[in-house]
A and B are shown apart, each in its own frame.
Chain A
Amino acid sequence: MARVSGLRSFVARRLLLGALQIVAVVLLVFALTEALPGDAAVALAGDQPDPARIEAIRAAMELDRPAWERLADWVAGLLLHGDFGTSLTSGRPVGEYITDGFGPTLLLATLTVALLVPAGFGLGVLAARHEGRIVDRVISSVTLAVYAVPEFALGVLLVTVFALQLGWLPPTAVGYGTDLLGHPSALVLPVLVLLSRPVCSLVRLVRAGMIDALASPYVAQARRYGVAGVRVRYAHALPNALAPAAQQLARTIDWLLCGVIVVETLYVIPGLGTVLLGAVAERDVPVVQGLAVVFGALTVALNLGADVVAHRLAPRAGVAA
């Protein structure tokens, strides 16, 4: 069918565009790390910045070769062997850094999304149902207030109250390594902080979309013809409020997977954000580039997914490549 092949060619075009975007990100990240003053050799030389010693380290790490040659080598390795290269500072494969860091990040993201979706949609629909009344006002003002608090402030506040004063939960995940699932109590505070702002934006989006949908003639028609209230809300009105929410959800998942640096740092969780932060501090270019490729691919894939969902939910609007 013409429509299906239209969607297929749209997906193909977007994947091609996505590949170009990833290449651009890698080039940009490489150029920016090159442009930073100092390099891995300087970082390794540490407290004794003896120029001769730095030169020696540079030669040993092949950092004295022209930048484009190093980039070409790295790209060739990635494309031919799927090899992200090795870290400049530790000599460990970059792939290992990524797989190690991905576990905790994925765990946090999964837990957050699992709570975010029902909370966001449920509260949004609830607020829309009671538009202008007390329930709506409470939900709307609380979400606005919470949204206004930056993560680091909320994180510190939660640690102070629940870990330090009440002593209910551990303040950080220090000492648990990557085995976070074995210590669920350490996950409560970070997930709460991660959840706080996305849940607010999602609730507000769903509420706005639902208010429009509930006032529409097609919902009036469904009610008029005796369709039960719950079904009207979730099967007839909600699909029309979903398209913007799906886009927002994709952005949130993207944000969660691509290293939530503040939260990981605050709660000392060894996820991708922490890996990225360390690599940038040590000018560990291969690690930074490897992460750039992973983050770029995730972003492209998630946004494409959201666009396909939006196309399904708002078929009239069509899709812009």
Chain B
Amino acid sequence: MNQRSDTTVRPVAEIRDLRVEVGGRAIVDGVSLRVLPGRVTALVGASGSGKTTTGLALLGEYPCDARVSGDVRLATDDAVGYIPQHPAAVLNPARRVSALLTDIARSQVRHLPRRQRRAAARERVLRALAEAQLPEGEALLRRHPHQLSGGQQQRVVLAQAMLLGSRVVVADEPTTGQDALTKSGIVDRLAAVAARGIAVVLLSHDLDVVRALADEVVVMRAGKVVESGPARRVWPAPRHPWTRELLSAEREFPEPDGRAGAGRTVLRIRGLTARHRTGARSTTVVLRAPELDLRSGESLALVGRSGSGKTTLARCLAGLHREHDGEILLDGVPLPGSLRDRSRAQLAAVQYVFQDAAAAFDEHRPVVHQVARTAIRLRGIDAKAAEQEALTTLNRLGLPEDQSRRRPGRLSGGELQRAALARALLAHPRVLVCDEITSGLDTITRRGILDTLTALVREREELSLVLITHDLDVAARARRIAVLEAGELVEQGPAQLILRAPSHPFTVSLMRTAARPAAGTGL
């Protein structure tokens, strides 16, 4: 970039001493921020630190019933572009992709004679799509949002901002829950936006992406800015202890659980082929796993991009995916393909923890009762003993009794995920399947949950873990790693070996893309 010092460039947006109060509690308190053209300004912090509220203030949007003081100034009248965490949410499910784009373009061609307007608007839309790296715009405009991939949806939302001529684009957690390859695509896209002279405000707790992109870093905690400055200064020498903690949480590359010589084989998969129904009679094979073993006391990470068949494999284990051939043996006994045909002991033996903990709880009953229910249903113990055990387990996982007695709505995402773990543990499972259970959480919460898991496997000798993840940092905690690509099991082996010396080309590329954003630190 050609800017020598920040003072010579006029900011395109500026926030001065912003304070947003909801119900008497300040969620953003005295935040000041300068957004420069062509630069990426990253707001970093754990969930609840006020990043999103600050970002939305640039769009002139505040939570309802908020009391706002301070200044938000924009250099131009152009609307600020917004790329939300889930781009699908801002695309109208009942309309074709072209609907909003055409409406935006139409307002820009009012000066033309009526007859030329339609063609001019269309041309603008196509140009904006091309700028957002969607060259095949014509065909794409006729589709509905659900017919696009996640990446295409994000690019369409980006094209809306391009079409609008926004000088500032706010991107809210654009990489959360994405795999390494998709992430690097998003990084490229945002870098290209900044290269056009547009100011990008990145709200993220994903430090890899922040490191790869950010020119300016603003670290937030509990609604306040604790540290801010150019990225090249903040990363190597963080001044505030909170920044240091945030960075160390990220950098730590833990040793996998080192217990030597795991026990005998608990789960044996032989010749597994899983299918999805695609029509009335046709099916497609979505997963082939000829051979995979899980030993007692071992943790196995299933790694791969989204859509590679990780979750399907786990669902076969749990009896949630019936359309499969081959054998899944638990202690040498074949498990029935469907949940319904499994005995209580078999049900208890394989437990599943889902990604979205909030959706996995009934919102109307206290958490502890829902956790205890597993023990009552699957182990047949009485309600009182079950509740006692639930409270003990929840407490062990870091949820004190008063929190356990609350309803799910009053717990945070991380706390709910701990409760979901406790609920699965109350079945006394042999195999615990964790399906992306940390991917929606911020760095510090994620580390807490992963530490808990590591401790669990160490403590309970009979427990084996299947970790489904696209995050290699998470996979690094497992003893063994199995890599899936397009439904094929391409590589498996000890974690150290796979991470240090991957042999399959896909695994190599996965490692490389994961390493790349971090390598951008030197900028």
Contacts and interface: CB of A to CB of B under 8 A. Distances in A.
Interface in B180-215: none
Given A220-B90, A224-B79, A240-B92, A316 B144 contact: yes
Interface stretch (B94-102, B310-318, B479-487): B94-102
Interface in A180-233: 216-222, 224-228, 231
A313 interface: yes
Given A221-B82, A315-B144, A315-B146, A236 B100 contact: yes
A235 B84 CA distance: 22
Nearest to A3: B147
B79 A221 contact: no
A314 interface: yes
A314 B93 contact: yes
A239 B94 contact: yes
A221 B100 contact: yes
B347 interface: no
A313 B99 CA distance: 13
B438 interface: no
A240 B160 CA distance: 21
Contacts of B82: 221, 224
Given A315-B146, A316-B144, A225 B84 contact: no
Nearest to A219: B92
Contacts of A216: 89
Interface residues of B, number: 23
B94 A225 contact: no
Interface string B74-116: 0000010010100001111111000110011001000000000
A285 interface: no
B92 A218 contact: yes
B79 A236 contact: no
Contacts of A243: 94
B345 to A, nearest CB: 37
Nearest to A316: B146
Given A236-B99, A316-B144, A225 B104 contact: yes
Contacts of B147: 315
B164 interface: yes
A213 to B, nearest CB: 9
A314 B92 CA distance: 10
Contacts of B103: 222, 227, 231, 235-236
Contacts of B95: 235-236, 239
A236 B61 CA distance: 20
Interface residues of A, number: 23
A297 B94 CA distance: 29
A240 B100 contact: no
A239 B93 CA distance: 9
B94 A226 contact: no
A235 to B, nearest CB: 7
A134 B522 CA distance: 61
B160 A221 contact: yes
B12 interface: no
A214 B244 CA distance: 43
Contact of A217 (B79, B89, B104): B89
Nearest to B104: A225
A240 B93 contact: yes
A71 B100 CA distance: 58
Contacts of B289: none
Contacts of B160: 221, 225
A225 B165 CA distance: 11
A236 B104 CA distance: 13
Contacts of A220: 61, 90
A288 interface: no
A226 B60 CA distance: 13
Interface string B393-418: 00000000000000000000000000
A235 B99 CA distance: 8
Given A217-B84, A316-B144, A316-B146, A225 B92 contact: no
A239 B92 contact: yes
Nearest to A314: B94
Contacts of A228: 107
Contacts of B89: 216-218
A218 B107 contact: no
B59 interface: yes
Contact of B79 (A218, A226, A242, A313): A226
Contact of A316 (B84, B93, B157, B164): B93
A235 B91 CA distance: 13
A217 B87 CA distance: 10
A264 to B, nearest CB: 37
B146 A236 contact: no
A236 B144 contact: no
Interface in A230-252: 231, 235-236, 239-240, 242-243
Contacts of B100: 218, 221-222, 225, 227, 236
Interface in B350-378: none
A12 B128 CA distance: 41
B128 to A, nearest CB: 12
Contacts of B59: 224
A313 B104 contact: no
B453 to A, nearest CB: 33
Interface in A270-321: 313-316
Given A226-B79, A227-B100, A236-B99, A217 B90 contact: yes
A242 B94 contact: yes
Given A235-B99, A315-B144, A315-B146, A227 B91 contact: no
A240 B99 CA distance: 13
Contacts of A231: 103
A315 B143 CA distance: 10
Contacts of B91: 218
B171 to A, nearest CB: 14
A219 B99 CA distance: 12
B103 to A, nearest CB: 5
B182 to A, nearest CB: 21
Q: Which of A239, A313, A315 has most B Cβ within 10 Å?
A: A315
B104 A218 contact: no
B79 A225 contact: yes
A12 to B, nearest CB: 13
Contacts of A221: 82, 90, 100, 157, 160
A244 to B, nearest CB: 12
A242 B94 CA distance: 9
A316 B94 CA distance: 8
Contact of A313 (B84, B94, B146, B164): B94
Contacts of A235: 95, 99, 103
A216 B104 CA distance: 19
Contact of B104 (A227, A239, A240, A315): A227
Interface of A: 216-222, 224-228, 231, 235-236, 239-240, 242-243, 313-316
17 contacts: A216-B89, A217-B90, A218-B91, A221-B82, A221-B157, A221-B160, A224-B82, A225-B104, A226-B79, A226-B107, A227-B100, A235-B99, A236-B95, A236-B103, A239-B95, A240-B94, A314-B94
Given A219-B92, A225-B164, A236-B100, 14 more contacts: A218-B91, A218-B92, A227-B100, A227-B104, A231-B103, A235-B95, A235-B99, A235-B103, A239-B95, A240-B92, A315-B93, A315-B144, A315-B147, A316-B144
* Top-9 shortest CB links A-B: A221-B90, A239-B94, A217-B89, A218-B92, A316-B146, A240-B94, A227-B103, A315-B144, A217-B90
Interface of B: 59, 61, 79, 82, 84, 89-95, 99-100, 103-104, 107, 144, 146-147, 157, 160, 164
